[in-house]
A and B are shown apart, each in its own frame.
Chain A
Amino acid sequence: MLLNKRFSDSQLVEEIKAGNEEALVSMQKSYYAMVKSFILKNNGTEDEIDDVLQDSIIAVWRNVNKPHFSLTVKMSTYLMAIVKNLWYKQLKKKTRFTVVDESLQEKITADDIKTDHLDHRIIHQLVAELDETCMKLLGYFYFDGFDNKTIAQKMGFANTDTVKSKKYQCFKRLQSSVTTKFNKEDFFN
């Protein structure tokens, strides 16, 4: 159960690095009014506030866990930068009047690898069918960006080698399922 704690900026960074999801809830509560004010002043509606704020908080969560992350401004300023970035991106889609930096959002940078020919719905389904341990392990590694030590602590593994081994097993199983689902034409269309 998540408690409604309030954290200082440095505490937030520490808690996010430790994978404490309570920090997300705390941020949502702390910065809601600020984000609301911004969204409503910039052609947004009440309905859009939660979505933008939640996506921004998750972006902060991922960025904080990136290697060498250092918070050099207030967390509110940092979050608002992401909020503005996301919001202007949405406005661009709607009105085509602003171009903004999108660098904050992307983790996988290999844009030259195209996957459009694959049926992502099938892959989503196979991922959803993973057991809880594999799902968490892969999520922590690929999305949260936790290092192997943190994952070992969070999941109760003996050491980082166990994490590596287990993660590979999970991925291999998933990859095998995906491969058997697709025929060769899917990969070389």
Chain B
Amino acid sequence: MDKQQHIHELIDQYLMGELVGQELDKFKIRLKDDPAFLNQVQIQKAIINSVEMARRDELKAILVDAKKPKKGFIIPFGSRSLAVAASILSLLAFGLIIKTMLPQGGEELSQADKTEQTIINEPIENQKPVSDSTQVVATLDDEDQDSLFIPPSPEIALADVVEDDETVDDASILTAESDDVDFAELKKNEDEIDGDEFKAQRDSMLGSKNVVLLAVAYETQASEATTSQEVKTAKKDGLFNRKSKEKSDKKTEVAESVPEKTLKTSPSIGIRVEFWESIVKFKGYKFDGKKLLLFDTPVSTQVGLKSYGNTTFLNKGGTWYKIVPNNSFNQMIRVSNTEILKVLNAK
């Protein structure tokens, strides 16, 4: 240890009150007699004061940091039980909202889709026009399926207008209240429907009307005489084979060339159509087969319902939508298949 380091440590000891006896006396005498030494002691004291202050600030910063809420939010111990309760309530409320908003009965929906898919994929040989409307099978090629099953966004669906080349015959859409409809039965069915699901909290019904569901089907006048072999031949010729536009055109020609098959529209059942305003601005529908709830659709909108095969279609303001009876909240699926539209628009 050199002399300067020794002096430095001596000054340290003095400043910390650790110097005693003769060494202290000697130190004090030197302080009085040696201004340079006094200067050194003063500077050392000032530096130590600054070092102490810096370290104090560092320790204080540790304590201040420990008091700060971590990750943005710390709940005091006393409030944690309340916080847990609040969290559970929030989750429940969120769950209820989700339950109200999103489609339910996923299994039903899947099943419905599966059923429809099965029908579509059914061999062409098994598909033939028959007089019984309940047995009419929609025959769609892959392209048509895509256009039918890809749901458009709700905004697009609701903003849809009738395309120029697809004039809708309003007369074909019956919106009259029919005496033939058993509204007592409707009411009964309505009661069977889970009211909580249909009446979303604070959603409000704007109005309702009863609409007759019209069943559209091909009627074969000489159906008894038509053999399955003839139908197969007709299909092979392009009657229901629509994998390309050319074939589709051909099919039309062939269909027109078969005189015994004509489209027949007949009243089926009464459907209660309700117009609802959703608090979550849901745009779509809910349909259980007997009652149709339309969300974000003005009461004044002209609506009509037709069934073709196993599928139900809604005409809303002149545009056709496919509706699925799965008792869930669904988005509107606009019908773009020209063949289906032709059938639906037929008188």
B and A form one assembly: yes
Interface segment, one of A72-80, A83-91, A114-122: A114-122
| Structural contact, A113 and B45, CB atoms closer than 8 A | yes
Per-position contact with A for B16-46: 1 when CB-CB < 8 Å, else 0? Answer: 1100000000000001000100111111111
| Structural contact, A187 and B54, CB atoms closer than 8 A | no
| Structural contact, B42 and A57, CB atoms closer than 8 A | no
B60 within 8 A of A: yes
B14 within 8 A of A: yes
Cβ < 8 Å to B, chain A residues 47-98: 50, 54-55, 57-58, 61
- For A28, A55, A120, A143, the residue with the greatest tally of chain B CB atoms inside 10 Å of its CB is A143
A93 to B55, CA, bound (A): 25
A44 within 8 A of B: no
A107 within 8 A of B: yes
Interface segment, one of B61-69, B152-160, B313-321, B326-334: B61-69
How near does chain B come to A161, taking the closest CB pair, in angstroms? 9
If A123-B46, A124-B53 touch, does A25 touch B16 (CB 8 Å cutoff)? no
Q: Which residue of B lies closest to A140 (CB)?
A: B55
| Structural contact, B48 and A54, CB atoms closer than 8 A | no
If A21-B59, A118-B46, A144-B55 touch, does A188 touch B35 (CB 8 Å cutoff)? yes
How near does chain A come to B34, taking the closest CB pair, in angstroms? 13
> Which chain B residues border A138 with CB–CB below 8 Å?
51, 55
> Which chain A residues border B8 with CB–CB below 8 Å?
168, 171-172
B209 within 8 A of A: no
A185 to B205, CA, bound (A): 91
> Which chain A residues border B38 with CB–CB below 8 Å?
113
How near does chain B come to A123, taking the closest CB pair, in angstroms? 5
A113 to B40, CA, bound (A): 11
> Which chain B residues border A133 with CB–CB below 8 Å?
none
A21 to B53, CA, bound (A): 17
- Number of A interface residues in the complex (CB < 8 A): 43
A153 to B64, CA, bound (A): 27
A10 within 8 A of B: no
B86 within 8 A of A: no
B50 within 8 A of A: yes
| Structural contact, B63 and A171, CB atoms closer than 8 A | no
> Which chain A residues border B67 with CB–CB below 8 Å?
28, 50
How near does chain B come to A182, taking the closest CB pair, in angstroms? 8
A128 within 8 A of B: yes
| Structural contact, A108 and B59, CB atoms closer than 8 A | no
B47 within 8 A of A: yes
How near does chain B come to A165, taking the closest CB pair, in angstroms? 8
Can you report 9 residue pairs joining A to B where beta carbons are below 8 Å apart? A2-B66, A50-B64, A50-B67, A109-B17, A113-B38, A118-B42, A118-B43, A124-B53, A135-B51
**A interface with B by C-beta (< 8 Å):** 2, 21, 24-25, 28-29, 50, 54-55, 57-58, 61, 107-110, 113-115, 118, 120, 123-124, 126-128, 135, 138-140, 142-144, 164, 168, 171-172, 174-175, 178-179, 187-188
19 extra interchain contacts, Cβ-Cβ under 8 A, other than A143-B55, A164-B5? A25-B62, A28-B63, A50-B63, A55-B60, A58-B60, A107-B16, A107-B52, A108-B15, A108-B45, A113-B38, A115-B42, A115-B45, A118-B42, A118-B46, A120-B49, A127-B54, A142-B55, A174-B47, A187-B39
